[in-house]
Structure 1
């Protein structure tokens, strides 16, 4: 088989609260480079690691990892709604391969996903249904969170399982890097909020619209320094990218949950998707990072990065 990896930040504020044109042009150029890299690689299957933002996974059952044999996007923040083109046969084979390698993995026969999954498929492929995909949820928001070493183990097991498919596989990590958006927290939440986080009752269109407007306003406030959210941390973001570029993935095992939150904000744990994707590629042999882009974008409440890698 042949394999490659791409990491791409996402943000629900893209197109709604954009940075200066020069910054946007640099981001667009980096994303276009990733599109070209993917087009040249021509994947037969995409294994997409992404988080959720309490649209598909809730505290009633909150697995650390879950692989889907079928998935549907809710269409939040203007992302596409509808089914993903899940390769169910490949998904089942990968799930069995991961479990056989000693990594506990939940499986969903009808996963609900949000912009964390939809946005990379739209941005890099032009839609939800343009490429066969296996969605893999990696919890990066809901505490308690497990050690990063288990994320590496998940990625490595998926990489080795993918080798048995004998196809061109792209491992795609969606999320991060440093960011601290206004995501609700279960501990100490008012009863109404806690009930929503536990039971996962779908919001009405009006409730969803109000919630999304609050996030958009938070991005505007953050960009002008009128916010108490943790600042973006380019130094920490680039440390992550350094480890990925050097193939020094065991270095992440010393990254504690508390330290990651302090350095990168409450949602910085979305970088687990990147670590999983690069661990999957690393399991198949030494790799080289062929492109690396980073830009702190306060308007998107995101340390925004794009990276591509292939086997040597």
Structure 2
């Protein structure tokens, strides 16, 4: 069995912009440092990174449920690094072919644009965008209609089986969640100008991007102050979800409905499907011979997020 590692972490563009307090920030830094040290010690030869987008790289003019990048570049939003990821195109294309052969419909992009959902975990855990070869795997988590948790698990299963066929040290990494409900517009209720940006917002100006980011930061301030009608963070649901992953209960993951996730974890709680896919990949890649350890959790209103980290390793 090839060496494999599982790492999952929440992301937030508000880290470093709004401050929940030194003690909490120190906790988060220590949790991230544990992942960073494990990754460096593991010395990966390829990272399969599952993550979402926030209407920065994928739009309603063509919105796939899943997409694998054979080439990818970060747009550099919220101060994240900008520029190309180190994507091994041959591995990415082979991965897409394997996923399709497994019965999971998945698009491929030779010019994928990613935002902080991919760039932030790479920056936090590797120090940049190109330290290790990375296959970026997009999971639509905000643009209805959404793929199900079951389909996300099957996607991960296909990626895990493909990774097991490689003679490489592989990491399955997930970025997103847990429960959170930031002010992301929906196509059904957006005014015409915002709807047009959701359909094709690739060419917004730096000024427009700055205004958008400022609105998110302001919304987070009001949310942390208890002056917002956004759905609250749900620690009970988050901890139950982490318990399901720790128990490696794939049937319980399959049973999560989109309606439940929206109602209990928020409109952006669907980012947990990245975690589902990565855990499923680890299960398939190791033949179930792995252990999972949720390492950190805290509800952080200043970041509008239930913030968590998790690691998994092959059983010895």
SS of 1:308's equivalent? strand
2:209 matched to which residue of 1?
208
1:142-221 equivalent positions in 2, closer than 5 A: 142-221=143-222
Whether the 8 Å CA contact 1:8–1:175 is kept in 2: the answer is yes
1:68-147 equivalent positions in 2, closer than 5 A: 68-147=69-148
In structure 1, distance between residues paired with 2:201 and 2:160:
32
Please report the TM-score for the alignment, with normalisation by the length of structure 2: 0.97
1:235 matched to which residue of 2?
236
2:47 matched to which residue of 1?
46
Whether the 8 Å CA contact 1:285–1:311 is kept in 2: the answer is no
SS of 2:244's equivalent? helix
Whether the 8 Å CA contact 2:56–2:202 is kept in 1: the answer is no
Residues 119-128 or 157-166, more deviating:
157-166
Whether the 8 Å CA contact 2:140–2:147 is kept in 1: the answer is no
CA deviation digits over 1:150-199, x for unaligned, max 9?
10000000000111112110000000000000111100211111111112
SS of 1:160's equivalent? helix
1:298 matched to which residue of 2?
301
SS of 1:48's equivalent? strand
1:289 matched to which residue of 2?
292
SS of 2:12's equivalent? coil
In structure 1, distance between residues paired with 2:246 and 2:295:
8
2:67 matched to which residue of 1?
66
SS of 1:307's equivalent? strand
Shift of 1:297: 0.6
Whether the 8 Å CA contact 1:97–1:158 is kept in 2: the answer is yes
Please report the TM-score for the alignment, with normalisation by the length of structure 1: 0.98
In structure 2, distance between residues paired with 1:190 and 1:282:
43
Q: 1:308 aligns with which of 304, 307, 311?
A: 311
Whether the 8 Å CA contact 1:49–1:174 is kept in 2: the answer is yes
In structure 1, distance between residues paired with 2:263 and 2:191:
24
CA deviation digits over 1:250-298, x for unaligned, max 9?
2011111111111011100000000000000001222112452101110
CA deviation digits over 1:60-79, x for unaligned, max 9?
11000000000011000111
1:26 matched to which residue of 2?
27
SS of 2:259's equivalent? helix
Contiguous gaps of at least 5 residues in structure 1:
none
In structure 2, distance between residues paired with 1:290 and 1:255:
21
Shift of 1:142: 0.5
SS of 2:267's equivalent? coil
In structure 2, distance between residues paired with 1:102 and 1:258:
24
Contiguous gaps of at least 5 residues in structure 2:
none
Shift of 1:213: 0.5
SS of 1:218's equivalent? helix
SS of 2:55's equivalent? coil
Q: Does residue 269 of the first structure (1) align with residue 270 of the second (2)? A: yes
In structure 2, distance between residues paired with 1:2 and 1:121:
20
In structure 1, distance between residues paired with 2:97 and 2:165:
11
CA deviation digits over 1:30-74, x for unaligned, max 9?
111111111221111000000000001000110000000000110
Whether the 8 Å CA contact 2:68–2:108 is kept in 1: the answer is yes
Whether the 8 Å CA contact 1:176–1:269 is kept in 2: the answer is yes
Q: When the two structures are aligned, how many residues end up with a matched partner? A: 312
Whether the 8 Å CA contact 1:90–1:165 is kept in 2: the answer is no
In structure 2, distance between residues paired with 1:84 and 1:110:
11
